[in-house]
Every structure is written in C-alpha cells, then in structure tokens.
Structure 1
Amino acid sequence: MQYHDGFLISRHSRDIGNQTELIFWVQTDNGPAKLVIQQESPVFFITNEHVEEAQRHLRAANIPYQTRSLPLKDFSYSEVTGFYFTTLNTVNRASRLLQVEGLNVLEADVRLPDRFLMERFICGGITFAGSATQRNGYVEYRNVKAKSSDYSTTLSRVSLDIECSEKGVLYSIGLDSEVDSRVIMIGDAPDNAEDMPWIEWVDTELALLKALNAWFVRFDPDIIVGWSVIDFDFRLLIKRAAFNKIDLRLGRGGEKAHWRDSNNSRQGFITLPGRVVIDGIDALKTATYSFRSWSLESVSRTMFGEGKAIDNPYDRMDSINRMFRDDKPALAKYNLQDCVLVNRIFEETHLLEFLIQRSRLTGIELDRIGGSVAAFTNLYLPRLHRAGYVAPTLTSENWIASPGGYVMDSKPGLYDSVLVLDFKSLYPSIIRTFLIDPLGLVEGLIAEDEATTVPGFRGGVFHREKHFLPALIEDLWKARDEAKLQGEKAFSQAIKIIMNSFYGVLGSSGCRFFDHRLASSITMRGHEIMKMTRELIEAKGFEVIYGDTDSTFVSLGKRHENEDADNIGQSLVEHINDWWIAHLKATYNIDCALEIEYEIHYQKFLMPTIRGQDTGSKKRYAGLVNKDEERRIVYKGLETVRTDWTPLAQVFQQTLYQKVFDGEEVEDYVRKTVEDTLQGHNDDALIYRKRLRRKLSDYEKNVPPHVKAARKADAYNEKRGRNLQYQHGGWIEYVITLNGPEPLEAIDSPYDYQHYVDKQLKPIADGILPFIGKHFDSLAAPQLGLF
C-alpha cells in the first residue's frame, strides 16, 4: 500500500447500520482527501469487581456488547475490563444506563475519533494508506491504516460576512480569499456592472444561497473565518436556507452543513465536513489577546488605525437598509471591507499559524476554543494506557481547592530604581524539578522505599521514575527555545500557552486528572520558592518590596544608572540560581530546572496603597522604563489598562504619572483638568463602556449603573420600533447625568460633572499625589481671585 502524508482538517463519527464510521478530512500535497474508517469499536472500562453487575444491567436492557480482560487498572489499583460496542448509539445507551445504576464507567466520555487519533499519537500530521477512489474534487480512501506524521501544509482560507435586514433577510454575502474576492448581491445589475466584476448579481435570496453553495464547490477553501461568524452569520444562513427550503451544502463533496445549539448557553456549533469554521474573537482569546472591546471596529482601529465605515448598530442598520435600497455597490464595498479586515487581523496576529501549531503539538481540533483540558488529555491518556492505567472519571465531588499563587504584601511608596526578577515559567519548571505528575502520584503513594519518591504537599509524593508530564514539559521547553531562535512566533506562543496551562488543568475540577495534591504541590512549592528567594535577596542587603506568583520586585534604595542596575540584577540572578541548584541536589537529590531571570529596571516605580487605606495594594503598580532610547511607563492593574474607566481617567492618569516620574510640577495640570471637566470641555472623554454579563431581566436587587443605562436604551429603542439591543447582554456605552446613567443613544439630561471629578479624577490623583506631599482636594479647590 502506498502511504501519503496529510494534515487533519476535520473529524467526524456516525453509525452506519450496525457499525461505526469514522471520517477524517485531510489536506495533502495533492489536494483534499476523505479517510473512511469502519468497524472501530467504542469502548469504556469497568472495574472487575463490578463487571458482573454491569453485565446484568446490559443484558436486562438488551444492549449488545463484548468484554475483554485487559492488563489495565484504575487509579485505585483495581483491575478493569473493557466493554466494547459496535455502534456509538449502543455505547452511549450503555454508559447512561450504568451510570444511573451507580456504576463508575471509566473513559466513556472519550470520543471515538479522538481516541483513534490519540492512541496513534496523531497530532495534526497524519500518514495514511488505503483503497483510493477519485471523487469530485477529492480522493476517498477506505480500509485505511494511519499513523502519526510531522507533515504540515498551508491551508487555504476565506473570510465570510453577511449583510441583512433587521428582520434577518439576507441582502448580500461577502467572501475574501487569495483566489477570489467577491460579494454576492441580491438585485438587478446596474448598467456599469462590468466595472464591478467582483460583484455577482442574483435575483432572490434563494439564488443567493445557491450561489454560495456554488462558490464553495468552485474555490474549495479549508478554513472559513469571520467575526461572530458562527453565532451570527452561520446561524442566520442556516435559518434562511431552511426558510427557502434549500440545503446549505458548504461541506466538501457537497455535504450538508450541520447546526447544533448548546444545551446550556446561547452558543451554537456549525459542522462543515472537510472544512473548519474559526471565529476571530474566539481565536484571539485562545491565543491570549486582549482588547478593550471585541467589536470588529474596535479591534481593527486598535491594530490598524482604521475600522468599519459605520459602527453604531442603529446607524449601521439604517445605512445598510438605505444602501440596499439606493446604492447596492456601496453596500457591496462595505460588506467586502469587513471580510478584508478579518483577514488582515488573521494575517497580523498569525492566528491560523498559531492554531495549526497548537494542533501539531496537542492533536486538538483547529477550531477548538480554549482546549487546555482536551490538549492535556490527548497528550497524557495514551501514555497512561501504555503504563497500565485507565484514566479516572471526571467528577466534581469532594473537590478541594488548592492555594493560589504566592502574593506578598507590598510596601507602598514612590521608589527610585526597582528591579524585577522573574522565574522563567515557574509552574512548569516546578513540575519538571519535583516530578509532579498524575501517574507519579499514583505510583508514589504505593512506593515502599522513600528513596524512590520526591515529597510534595498535602500528602502528595511522586515517583522518581514513573511519570510522563516532566518529560512532556521538557520537550516542549526545548521546542520553544528552538522556535524562539528561529523566530517562529506563532509556534513559540502555542508552546508557551500549552506549557503554562498544565498547572491550570491539574488544578481544575473540569479535568479528569484533578487531584488537590497535584495542584497544591505546585502552588505551595511556588510559595516556598518565592519566600526563600526573598530571603536570599535581602541577605544581600536589598529590600524586596513586592512579590507576585513568579516575580520579585527589588528596591535598590537609591537611583542607579541602567548599567549599574543591570549589573546588580545579573549578580543577584547568578547567586539565586546557583543556590537553588545546590540546595535541591543536597536536600532532595534532584536536578534543578528552576531559573530566575533579570527582567527589567524601573528608574521610577510606584507601588500604591489600597484605595482609602494605608495598606499596600496587590497586582497594581506603575514603573518608568528609560533605556536604549525606549521611554515608557508600564501600568499593571491600574485604571489606564482597565476597560471600566473612562478615557478622561486614563489620559489623566498617564499624564499625571509622567509628570510625577519626571519630577515636573503637577498643580496646574490637576487644576486645569478639573476646571475643563466642570466646564464641559471634556465631554467626549466621559463615556463609560461596560459589559452586561447576564440577561437584563436577571438584574433584580442590585442594579448597577450600566444596567440602568441599558434599560433606558431599550426603552428608547422600543418607542421607535427598533429591535431591543441589550436584553441578552452585550456592551453598553453611557454617561452619568444629573438624572443618573443614560445611554449614548438617549441622553436627555445635563452631565453630572462633579461625579467625574469625584469618581474618576480624585481616585487616580489620590493614588500618587500623597507620595510627593500633595493632595487632590487642595489642588482642585476653587481658586479665590484677588480684587
């Protein structure tokens, strides 16, 4: 049989008659291929002491099965038997029945396509062989044999966006890809249509959907991207296709699109066989990007300085209706602009490369949101099976929280020359050093010789030889170092996120491997390391003013030039690293993977107090960096980097801190900002923007200002016959007036300027002025004129 290399695009499973069928769509050097695998048996495991009881229940329910004795045991050291089924339907029925009867069904929630891939260590790249049949646009393989491969390829992408009426009737569909960019528009072609070849004119909504089907057959993209593309664009496309009694056949081979609503949220899921749909917002969040607002307008303006032509939802709807009625080419241009912006965001952030590398590292689907638990399971489960164990059942019972990261009480003040020393990937390095691992815990607890274990916390002990996670992290660590050397930013970012997620996974009740002894042995060891590191620094005569998880802030006591500060920082790093290597070898006879690094020198540094108290704050500070022609102020946790403070407050903070750090006078600036605000000169900067995280009707007892504003906005919308915009959450922009909060679209009252002085300017000023012997109230007081 001839083997071929491919990259996994999508995975599916279904029952065909009395057997299961797995379908994997892959992209190869010769185009797309469909791999069909039959007669894979779904399986779960039951401990031997409950096998007869399980068999009795299954026979009574007339559910067919087969059992097989296996050299496997669970985490309680009980041997298990495999229960095998011919179809997905029967395994699901059996699992539900036995769980209702109180039996512990192990690994029943592992999906069959995932099990097939993970047991073969297939992560993205796949090598396969089988009986080939040429189909229309792809090759179908049956009797497939598959194994892992390092193969990767470039995947084709199209950005999709729709325009519609407020009632959800389609107007146009925009499509932007490297091979074709067009807008399919309902309407009569104008006389100058030949000047706009990128607009495809159709007569009806039905014709629009047929043209969309035809576009996918012709241009055949691997990936579909967009902005809220699943829960808006595809949700509406599915609905309009049903209304027009047409199948939306956007999958490869003309296969139908399948829609599924989530059981417990408003989120929906779209399945297109042979393709992947990726929402830009979800992808950016998965890659740990953060923006003040997630609207396409806001993200585009943040990244490129440009955005959509119309952003207000009602202005937008009115303009779209007008353009569809009077100027369809303008609407087509607007439609395509959204598609182009999304593609630019994907290009700028290397999002698709990031998702491909994540899949290559962990085997999870390209469109998987988050996916930390799934990634860990994919990597760990097959190794666990080869060690003779099956995984425990996911449960939240008897959940015991583990301590969080170490946070030291800070010493508030305005400092000259503060160094920051960071442990490089502290939690992953603790896992590597102290051999923290689910299997290691299971084996460590039954080890008879203490010399074969490393102690943890809360009763946890870890076997020195039987473990997988330390080696997995070490391999990822080496791969990331290599990726950084090669300038592969997407690959490096993917590895960093995966490595850092391992602690979170082990500390999450949503992970089957959760055990409080695992998570606590990581965080409590982190506390110990941070406290000891502080002692080492203070023994050298320096003051530690703050510590947070893996960072230590060191005051040098007086102003130092950058070169002197750098030398001190490097000296401290060398001393601390040498000490930990020697200490861990002498105390535990283990190799040290801990590594502290000199991160930064702040020439000026503010550690504020908790508002209204003398106690130092936590996770909030600002520092001035001035080195190598780079001059910037870094803000952490302060109003400037928070989305729930007004632009007025943020600009005021940035300017005030710059003046204090540079030793400039601040009296005139504070006084003028207050006066300008009270006189109405700063109205454009008084806008609050806040997210409604629940339905509007869910806010009953305590009704915060943004909820009051949202209710006023929807009352205003209702009077004008508009759709209610805020009933199910979303973002609201509002101002505080003399009659309370009012939304931007319905401001009826004068602004409450004193509110902004008291609640936006004063708290920021009070965070820094006392450290230079000044106070906001005295500076902001009205000045008496001389007569």
Structure 2
Amino acid sequence: MPQGFLLTRHSFDQRGSTCIHYWLATPEGPVKLVIEGERPVFMVKVADRPQVTEALAGVPCDWQQLGFQTFGREEAAMLYFPTIDAHRRAQALLHNRGIEVFEADFRLHDRYLMERFARGGLYFEGVARARDGYTEYRLVRLKGAEVQPDFKVVSLDVECSGQGEMYSIGLYGDGVEEVLMVGPMQAQGADTTIHWVDDERVLLKALEARIQCLDPDVIIGWAVVDFDFRLLLKRAGRHGLRLKLGRGGTEARWRDGREGSQGFVTLPGRVVLDGIDGLKNATYNFESFSLEFVAQTLLGRGKDTEDVDNRLAVIEHDFRHNKPKLAAYNLEDCRLVWDIFQHTRLLDYLRLRAQLTGLELDRSGGSVAAFTNLYLPRLHRSRYVAPNLPADGGLASPGGYVMDSRPGLYDNVLVLDFKSLYPSIIRTFKIDPMGLIEGLAEAAGEGAEEGAEEGTADDRADETSIPGFRGARFSRDEHFLPDIITNLWAQRDIAKQEQDAARSQAIKIIMNSFYGVLGSGGCRFYDTRLASSITLRGHEIMQQTARWIEELGHQVIYGDTDSTFVWLSGRPTVEDADAIGKGLASEINTRWRHKLKQELALECELEMEFETHYQRFLMPTIRGSEAGSKKRYAGLVVSGDEEKLVFKGLETVRSDWTPLAKQFQTRLYGMVFHGEDPSDYIRETVERTRAGDMDEQLVYRKRLRRKLEQYVKNVPPHVRAARMADEHRRQQGLSPRYQKKGWIRYVITLNGPEPVDYRQSPIDYQHYIDRQLKPVADAILPFIELDFDSLVDGQLGLFGVTD
C-alpha cells in the first residue's frame, strides 16, 4: 500500500452529504485523499429518547443502540447525521432543551482518523487520478503507519514599513535562496539573488507563483503566522487579491484567534510552522524569543544588521537607499530560522509528536487533545462514551510534594530522583479514567468508596481493585492508560539507546503531560480522584523514601516532587559518595518492590536513580526568615577536572535580575564553595558600583506582557520606563515602540525608572546595592559568619558618609 504523512485535514458539507480532504506528503509527491459520505455523530442517554425525538423532529438523523454506556453507567445511543450542518443544528436544539449530549465537539475529519488509530503516518489505497501537481484518491481506505517523510521545506520572511507596506519577501530552503523585492532593478552582490517587481501587488502575485513552483510541504518562519501571513493576507485584501498559496491552486485563508490570542492560517496541502511556537512546544525556554536572541543563543550569530534594536528604521532606510543590503538582511533572517530548525531538529520533534499523538504538525499546546486521541478509541472498544467537561471547571487537585528544607551550607549532598515519577505511579497503581469507574463498581459491595478519608489512601488490598485517594478505587484489569504509558516508555528507552534526542524528548513531554491533563478542568476525563491519586501517592512515596533513607543513617535535607536531597556526614571521597548514592537508590528500589508486592500485590514500576553529587551545596532561608526556602538552592558539581555551578530558583537563573546580580552571585558563590574569603570581592564590587564602573550591568530588561494602555491600577517600573521612552520618541517625531507589548531596557535613577536610551537622571547606585547585591549576599554569608552590611559599612568613610 502507498504511504504518506498527514499535512492538512478539512471536512465540509457538499450536495447534502459530507466530504473530508486529507493532504499527504508522500515519496511520490503530494496526495489528496477524498472521503465522501462519512456521517457525523454524537451520543445521548437512551433514557432521554422521548425528549430527543421531540426536539429533533425536523432534523434527519439515525438512532442506533450499540451497547454503549456513560461513565455514570447509563445506557447511551449514537445519533448519526447526514451533514455537519444537521449535526450542529441538533446540538443546538438539544442544548436549548437542557438535554445532555456527549462527544459532540469532535470535528468529523479528526474523529475519522482517531477511530482508526491513524496518527501522522498513513497507509492508504483507493482509486487514483492524476491532477495538476498532485494525485487525488477517492474510495479511500486508510490505516495508521510509521512514516518518516522527507518534507520539502521553505523558510519565509517578509520585510515591511512600520505601516505594513511590504518591501520584500525572502525565501530560503529546499531549492531556493532568493528575495522578491519591490523597486527598479539595481546592481546587486553575487551572494543574493533578487527578483525585482514593480509594486506590492506584483510582489504578492510573484510570491504566489514562486510557492506554486517550489511546492513546499512546510513553510517555516519566525512569528510567521501572526505577522508574516497575517500581513500577506491583509495586504492582498487591500489589492482585491485572493492568494492561491495552497496546493491545487487553493486559497490561503485567515481565521482570527480568540481575543488576545494568535490567529490561524490555512493553506490546504501545506503546513505553516512558527519557530517560536515550535520551540515552546518542545519545552525550550529563553529569556527572549526574539529571533536575534534565540539565534545568538543557539547558533552564536544573529541578524545581519548593525543596529538590531532599531532595525525598523534601518529597514526603511535601506529600502530607500540600499535595497541589495535589505535583501541580504531579509535572506539572512530566513537562513537563521532554517538553521535554528536544523540545529534543534524541531521539525523532527513536531513530526514525532504528530506520529505519536495524532496532533496536527502546527498545533500549539494540545496536551488534552493528544491524550484524547490516544485514549478515546480504546474507550469506545470497551463500549464507554467519554464524559463531558466538568460544569464547574474542575476542582483544584493537590500539587507535587515539597518538603520543608533544612537550610545550611553543606559538604557532600546527593540528589536521588525517581525516574518519571508520575508516569511510574500511573503504571504501578493502574490509574485510569475507565479503571476508576470499573474499580469503584467492583468495590461497591465492600463500601470502599466511602472508606477513605480526604487526602489519604484506603490501602485495603482486595483481589479486584487498587486503592487510590479521595475515595478512588482502580480496576486491576480494566484500564488503558498504564498500557499506553508502558508502550511510550519502551519507545523512549529505544530512542535513548539510539541517541534519538528528538524522539526521546517528544515521548517524555507526552508522558509527563498525562497527570496535568487528568487534573485539568479543560479535559473531558478530569476527575479530582484521578489527579489526587497521582500527586498524593507521590507525597506518600517521597515521605516514605525519606524515612527509609534516614533509617539507613543519612539525613534528608530537602525533597521536591520526585527528588530527594541527602546529606552525607563525615568526609567521604568522591568515589565513596557516588557509591553511597548508587547503593541508596538500589536499596530504595528493593524496598518499594517488596512493600508493594506484600501490601497491595502490585508489581512496582517505581525506579529511583542516583543523579547528582554536590561537593558543596547551599540551601538558603526564606528572605527575612529562619525557615528554609523551597525550590531555591545552589551547588558545586565536580566531574574530573571540570566544575559546574548549579543554580535553581536563584537570581542567576531569573530574567528579572540585572547582569550585576547574576555576575556577583556566580563569583561570590564560587568563592564560598571553594572556601575562599569573599570579603574583599564584596567590598570591591560595592565600590565599583558606586563609582559607576558597573553601569553597563545595571540594566533591567523586562517584558511588557500587555499593551501599555492596559496597565491602569498597578504601574510597575518597566511600564513607567516604556511610557517615558515612547513619549520621547513622539517628541522626536518617531513612532512609539512599546504600545503593543515588547521588551524594555531601563535603569533605576534618583528620579525612578528611566529607559536606557533616554535616561536623563543620575543612576541610583544605592538601589542596586540594596536591591541587587545585598539580597544575593544575604542568602549565603550568614553560613560563613559574615554580614553584608558590616562589610559594606566599613567603606562608607571612603565616600564621606558619617552618622
């Protein structure tokens, strides 16, 4: 059978029936699958049949009872409709009468794939017909397949004026490296191919022709959906054009997102992937997601311009006076995006995510949809109908376990981690939506549902069900989620062995999302008993583990979700400490296997690993308190001749602290961890700060997450600085820069926050000493019997300060 990878999907009504289009990338070229006559469906309770029949008197439908039941164990019927429109009208009519319907929110083209376990890769067969540029199949049969497509990819970038007038479009990738530029032909360098066009309208038509000629499967870019394609379609509308950028000459279409969210572009037969969304989906995190910052961080190079912060002015200047230079800049932006995708294997990650979950390649987020795609077809084969979303949005479930820490400066701290704790708990204790319903039914005769108190497990073992929390019981045999995770786990182990980082990361993210899905009111399978049986079981496991470690003669100083921090007293060698860590992990694993086998007759899937040996470790106190902090620590890891300082939750890893604080913390902690006296360094840093030697490191850089006009009651310093900057720009006849979000760089002066580019007042050095240096020092100095104020007070006389 032929095979291909799913690019786009769409369903609609035509001539009194339905039609589904699936576009695929195949080794033989693009393929369009056409499936006609598939019927939309939703479910209702059989007990509601009289009311349903009355409400839908004017809507054609087919009632079928196939032995399904709801999670409330009520018999359910399927209602099939000839068209999507009839399906929608029926929903509305039943909703208006207060009649509950189930699974009404699935799009026809998604349900068709899901019920066939078809995700990403497909085998297909049917009657083929050659079309212009693609092959069309009708009378289609399809099923899921493992496919590794060789996508044809083009990187696209648009340059324009501040008012949105388009200047040029860069294209880079498979078979192309060129710029479409508005203007009369000019001499150009050998490095950039420029196609000159007369005006913006011709530019749009030229892009249309080039995309149809290049015929990419995937178009990539940076903010490419919400900026480039939004602009392209908006400008096309101004010229009365409908851009035919999809396959088969189909039009590109725009759909606005909900208020404040990104919009959507549809190009039938092609996928548009935004690098920012893709990296976020792959859990990359950067201080800034600007192309310049990400490129510099990942590639060590950035945009081809001398003035990145004022690039709009540079672009407008170059369009008027140096178009070949603008073309080179435009093409380099395309190249940077291409190289970021290559460097991170981002397209591989998104392909694998689609193959594993059935999500579209360009889907942002989607953990709930991924879970549903994997779970629902299995549920249907057990003749269950999925529940609806909770009416109240869902009750909050307990979070992960966080132990009260024991603050101090320690030698030799080990970190022991449970490998994928929450997925392991799901596997071990058979936590599963349907398993909960079956387990409660199995245990009902014993009164188990009422037997557990809030926040505790009813740990009475029986032959059928497994105890959970908040009244939960889980079936030992009737479940799907543990098996889904076991399969993903095995695939991840293979990916690790093959050093396939993209596949390993995709599987890890999917597995770890399942707890969040079950605890989310946005998921139809939400039940506080499910999420609580994961997190509260995690609490129990962490607490019991800590007790066992202390029974073995070691002190646990902190615990967080799945990590246990163990202090080794005495002065063990590096080899001895590592051996103790591995021995503790092995002993804890043995104890858990024995405990679960004896008490609950369960095979243990929990696995503790020895992760890190900190030769020096700081657990600070909460500021202004003697109590130990949580999720904040630092340590020194030594491996051979290499040393690494690790910071968690402290100033060095937080974007809202200045470079001064980060540099100061790194040097100060390094000195303390190596047993050096930091007194002189502290005094020198304060002195240099007061003298103005550190001014370049005093800049705050903060993101404006809302439009400036939306900051009304609470106006933080970075907003005040942004408003001041835009006022200065207006006075200079320049357009404002910060009205619609963005990043602002500012300093604190004697007159408050001021933007770096328009600072008029002297810097308030005391602010930086009190708010940036002192908090960093106060977290560690008390543990070596030093005091920041005492060290600094000794040099006040240098500046003529007296009491």
Structures share fold, TM-score greater than 0.5: yes
1:177-223 Cα deviation digits (max 9, x unpaired): 03111111111112x35846611111111111111111111111111
Asked whether the 8 Å contact 1:696–1:707 carries over to 2, the reply is yes
Asked whether the 8 Å contact 2:192–2:328 carries over to 1, the reply is no
The residue number in structure 2 matching 1:328 is 323
Asked whether the 8 Å contact 1:414–1:771 carries over to 2, the reply is yes
In structure 2, the CA distance between the partners of 1:758 and 1:786, relative to structure 1 (3 Å rule), is: closer
1:445-478 Cα deviation digits (max 9, x unpaired): 1115742100000000000000000000001101
The residue number in structure 1 matching 2:456 is none
- Larger mean CA deviation between 19-28 and 81-90 belongs to 81-90
Asked whether the 8 Å contact 1:22–1:113 carries over to 2, the reply is yes
Counterpart of 2:668 (choices 621, 640, 656) is 656
The residue number in structure 2 matching 1:207 is 202
Alignment of 1:167-182 (within 5 A): 167-182=163-178
The residue number in structure 2 matching 1:381 is 376
In structure 2, the CA distance between the partners of 1:398 and 1:162, relative to structure 1 (3 Å rule), is: closer
The residue number in structure 1 matching 2:63 is 67
Could you say what secondary structure the match of 2:409 adopts? strand
Letter in 1 for 2:779: G
The number of residue pairs the alignment matches comes to 782
Asked whether the 8 Å contact 1:396–1:510 carries over to 2, the reply is no
The residue number in structure 2 matching 1:131 is 127
Letter in 2 for 1:321: E
Could you say what secondary structure the match of 2:208 adopts? helix
Asked whether the 8 Å contact 2:393–2:522 carries over to 1, the reply is no
The residue number in structure 2 matching 1:145 is 141
- Shift in Å at residue 499 of structure 1? 0.5
Structure 2: distance between partners of 1:561 and 1:719:
66
The residue number in structure 2 matching 1:508 is 520
1:377-427 Cα deviation digits (max 9, x unpaired): 000000000011010112341722111000000000000000000000000
Asked whether the 8 Å contact 2:188–2:324 carries over to 1, the reply is no
The residue number in structure 2 matching 1:303 is 298
Counterpart of 2:247 (choices 252, 265, 268) is 252
Asked whether the 8 Å contact 1:123–1:361 carries over to 2, the reply is yes
Counterpart of 2:14 (choices 13, 16, 19) is 16
In structure 2, the CA distance between the partners of 1:358 and 1:749, relative to structure 1 (3 Å rule), is: same
Asked whether the 8 Å contact 2:189–2:324 carries over to 1, the reply is no
- Shift in Å at residue 732 of structure 1? 1.9
The residue number in structure 2 matching 1:642 is 654
Letter in 2 for 1:711: R
Structure 2: distance between partners of 1:612 and 1:33:
65
Alignment of 1:416-435 (within 5 A): 416-435=411-430
The residue number in structure 1 matching 2:55 is 57
> Are 2:359 and 1:347 aligned?
no
> Are 2:463 and 1:451 aligned?
yes
- Shift in Å at residue 94 of structure 1? 1.8
Structure 1: distance between partners of 2:96 and 2:122:
38
Could you say what secondary structure the match of 1:21 adopts? strand
Could you say what secondary structure the match of 1:606 adopts? strand
- Larger mean CA deviation between 511-520 and 139-148 belongs to 139-148
> Are 2:405 and 1:410 aligned?
yes
Could you say what secondary structure the match of 1:250 adopts? coil
The residue number in structure 1 matching 2:215 is 220
Structure 1: distance between partners of 2:365 and 2:210:
31
- Shift in Å at residue 145 of structure 1? 1.0
Alignment of 1:530-679 (within 5 A): 530-679=542-691
Asked whether the 8 Å contact 1:453–1:463 carries over to 2, the reply is yes
Letter in 1 for 2:244: R
The residue number in structure 2 matching 1:367 is 362
Asked whether the 8 Å contact 1:559–1:603 carries over to 2, the reply is no
Could you say what secondary structure the match of 1:420 adopts? strand
Structure 1: distance between partners of 2:642 and 2:96:
64
RMSD: 1.6
1:275-327 Cα deviation digits (max 9, x unpaired): 11111111111100111111111111111222114486762111111110111
Letter in 1 for 2:151: L
Counterpart of 2:476 (choices 464, 473, 481) is 464
> Are 2:493 and 1:481 aligned?
yes
- Shift in Å at residue 725 of structure 1? 2.9
Letter in 1 for 2:323: K
Asked whether the 8 Å contact 1:417–1:556 carries over to 2, the reply is yes
The residue number in structure 2 matching 1:753 is 765
Structure 2: distance between partners of 1:364 and 1:646:
40
The residue number in structure 2 matching 1:5 is 3
- Shift in Å at residue 691 of structure 1? 1.9
Counterpart of 2:94 (choices 85, 94, 98) is 98
Letter in 2 for 1:615: A
Could you say what secondary structure the match of 1:103 adopts? coil
The residue number in structure 2 matching 1:35 is 33
> Are 2:73 and 1:77 aligned?
yes
> Are 2:787 and 1:775 aligned?
yes
Asked whether the 8 Å contact 1:124–1:152 carries over to 2, the reply is no
- Shift in Å at residue 45 of structure 1? 0.6
Letter in 2 for 1:357: L
Letter in 2 for 1:402: S
Asked whether the 8 Å contact 1:121–1:382 carries over to 2, the reply is yes
The residue number in structure 2 matching 1:691 is 703
Could you say what secondary structure the match of 2:740 adopts? coil
Structure 1: distance between partners of 2:257 and 2:49:
34
- Larger mean CA deviation between 776-785 and 602-611 belongs to 776-785
> Are 2:228 and 1:230 aligned?
no
Could you say what secondary structure the match of 2:572 adopts? coil
In structure 2, the CA distance between the partners of 1:67 and 1:415, relative to structure 1 (3 Å rule), is: same
Structure 1: distance between partners of 2:526 and 2:306:
45
In structure 2, the CA distance between the partners of 1:12 and 1:310, relative to structure 1 (3 Å rule), is: same
Counterpart of 1:48 (choices 37, 46, 49) is 46
The residue number in structure 2 matching 1:319 is 314
Identity of aligned residues (%): 56
- Shift in Å at residue 713 of structure 1? 2.2
> Are 2:527 and 1:527 aligned?
no
In structure 2, the CA distance between the partners of 1:390 and 1:322, relative to structure 1 (3 Å rule), is: same
Gaps of 5+ in 1: none
- Shift in Å at residue 152 of structure 1? 2.2
Gaps of 5+ in 2: 446-461
Letter in 1 for 2:634: A
> Are 2:278 and 1:283 aligned?
yes
Letter in 1 for 2:156: L
In structure 2, the CA distance between the partners of 1:396 and 1:310, relative to structure 1 (3 Å rule), is: farther
- Larger mean CA deviation between 174-183 and 413-422 belongs to 174-183
> Are 2:714 and 1:702 aligned?
yes
- Larger mean CA deviation between 571-580 and 551-560 belongs to 551-560
- Shift in Å at residue 746 of structure 1? 2.1
The residue number in structure 2 matching 1:155 is 151
The residue number in structure 2 matching 1:357 is 352
The residue number in structure 2 matching 1:711 is 723
Structure 2: distance between partners of 1:69 and 1:387:
14
- Shift in Å at residue 745 of structure 1? 2.9
1:575-616 Cα deviation digits (max 9, x unpaired): 100000010000000100000000010000000011111110
Asked whether the 8 Å contact 2:236–2:242 carries over to 1, the reply is yes
In structure 2, the CA distance between the partners of 1:558 and 1:721, relative to structure 1 (3 Å rule), is: farther
The residue number in structure 2 matching 1:243 is 238
Asked whether the 8 Å contact 2:27–2:150 carries over to 1, the reply is no
Letter in 2 for 1:182: E
- Shift in Å at residue 96 of structure 1? 2.4
1:47-102 Cα deviation digits (max 9, x unpaired): 1111221221222xx33222212211110011111111122222122212322321
> Are 2:100 and 1:88 aligned?
no
Asked whether the 8 Å contact 1:14–1:22 carries over to 2, the reply is yes
